[in-house]
Amino acid sequence: MARDPYAAIARLRHAAARVRRTTAPFLWRAARVRNTPRALVRHYRARHPHPVPELVHPPHPYARALGMVAVVLLGAWLGLLIVGSVRTPVGPMDTKMTLRPSVSGGTKINISPLGSLRLESHRAPIRLDVDVDRLDPDRAQALVDHPERFSGLQDEVTADVVSGTRDLALRSCIAVVSGATVLGLAVFRTPRRALAAGGTALALLAASGLSAFATWNPKSVLEPKFDGLLASAPSLVGNARSIVSEFDVYQKELARLVTNVTRLYDAASTLPQYAADPTTIRLLHVSDIHLNPAAWQIIGSLVEQYDIDLIVDSGDTMDHGSPAENPFLDPVQELGAPYVWVRGNHDSAATQAYLEGLKNVHVLDDGEAADVAGLRIAGMGDPQYTPDRSVAAEGDPAEEIAGSTLASALWAQRSRGTPVDIAVAHNPVAARKTDGAVPLVLAGHVHHQEMEVMDRGTRLRIEGSTGGSGLRAVEVDEGDDPDPIEASVLYLDRETKHLQAWDEIRLGGLGLTKAEVSRHLPEENTPGATPSPTGPPTRSSRGP
């Protein structure tokens, strides 16, 4: 019997379906095992995508910080430069006050066209600049016509300064915030970072202000530094006596400054005459002229300007000490004040003999003393004569022996009841041997100015070169400034003979025109200091 083909096909399909049902779980598991590596790779790639190349790399954190600092500082400076100033009247003067970035701080008062006056009023990274724009003619004339109004000027000046400083602080805050924010927006192009720059600038200004407040020194007006023509006006803030007696009243000194500047302008910008204090002896200390003829004109001008009572030259007036140089000394007779001189290591015995024959000159040597202009002065010539390198120097031992000889002479004078007020030696090594034997000793030799109080109470004053180092000024290396011309005016009490104050005078060297005068006070004359003793200790208790 023949088979039905359709039934056979149906049976085959049924058998195949049964096989698939039986093997399906195994096939599913095999497929899952086969696909597991691919799944793991996809999972890893999802969690660790490949880096995508960028045209602009993100900046390093340090670079971002430096960029922010640069934007803050530059923006704050531009803000102060453009809008960070205020115009305010101070007494009869119209002024402009400005804050400027600075390393050392302080205050600078510009009095055009006469020069500037600098005060170490504070230590902070900001400096206060005060520009005197003009003198109001009506207010100035009212003061000139009614001098009694000067007595109330200090309160007016103080109020004006306080008001101007308050306005300046507010405007400066706005200036630094605006400048840093605008520059930050232009550089970073994001409001968030721009506002951060403005906030940082404000914080820096606030920190600077706190630093200035913490280091504020109102007594800085007592020790100003003058530049320009003002260097020729030592009476601008009063004479030595008034400074010592009134140094604790800042408002009075500030009013005195405004008063004198007002009178200065009223006199058509001519310099005022120095008001000599009858209770003060004014001593001009010069040294190391080294054959510079310009020194005589400078000394003569200082004698006239400061009404000098006597001049002390601590040696090295010559360069080689040859007889041919002696006529260089002739102007000493015409300087207008007594001239006290000691020999330096560039001055010969012939130089000393020539000076002894000139009128108005007091040559001191071997510890001998002389009474000049109300002071008793003793001196010792330098024991060495070394005009050039062909002569071998004996060195410090010779200077120490000379200093000891001078000290012995000083103690002998004291034992005889004629104590010496000032000792003079050329070399500081010799001068240091007089410690305890005299209140003040003057020296030179090293071509720069120094002032120190030694262990036994003697004050040592070392003068710079009043001749600007002489011919050595033309031997400086290219790019270096020549040595300055230096001298000092010492103010001594006419009764006690004690040093009250001193002015350091520095003029530009060869080819330069800069002039600067700095006033200084001894520590015992500053507020709260212990009064100075009546003299150095006696030999029995503190002798050498």
- Per residue in 29-58, pLDDT (tens digit) is 666 656 666 666 666 666 666 555 555 556
Reported as a single tens digit per residue, the pLDDT across 355-403 is 999 999 999 999 999 999 999 999 999 999 988 766 667 788 999 999 9
Instruction: Parse the chain into domains and list their residue ranges.
Output: 61-235, 273-388+395-525
The pLDDT of residue 119 is 80
What is the percent of the chain where pLDDT is above 90? 30
Helices (H), 363-519: 396-415, 428-431
Measured CA to CA in angstroms, residue 316 lies from 290, 464, 469 at distances of: 6, 11, 10
pLDDT at residue 270 in the model: 41
Task: Give the model confidence (pLDDT) of 87-111 as tens digits.
Answer: 888 777 778 888 888 888 888 877 6
pLDDT band at 275 (very low <50, low <70, confident <90, very high): low
Instruction: Give the number of residues written for the chain.
Output: 544
Coil/strand/helix, residue 527: coil
Look at 27-41, 178-192, 522-536 and tell me which has the smallest mean pLDDT.
522-536
pLDDT in tens, 125-158: 888 888 876 666 666 666 656 655 655 655 676 6
Statement: residue 172 has pLDDT above 60: yes
The pLDDT value given to residue 128? 84
Which pLDDT score, from 0 to 100, does residue 176 have? 86
| Cα 332 to Cα 336: distance, rounded to the nearest angstrom | 9
Listed ranges 20-24, 251-255, 425-429, 525-529; the one with the highest mean pLDDT: 425-429
Question: Which pTM value belongs to this model?
Answer: 0.63
- Mean pLDDT, the chain, rounded, equals 77
DSSP 139: H
User: Tens digit of pLDDT for each residue in 299-358?
Assistant: 988 888 888 999 999 999 998 888 888 999 999 999 999 999 999 999 999 999 999 999
Q: What is the pLDDT of residues 449-483, one digit of tens each?
A: 999 999 999 999 999 999 887 755 444 445 556 77
The CATH architecture of the domain made up of 273-388+395-525 is 4-Layer Sandwich (3.60)
Decide: helix, strand or coil at residue 269: coil
CB atoms within 10 A of CB 170: 11
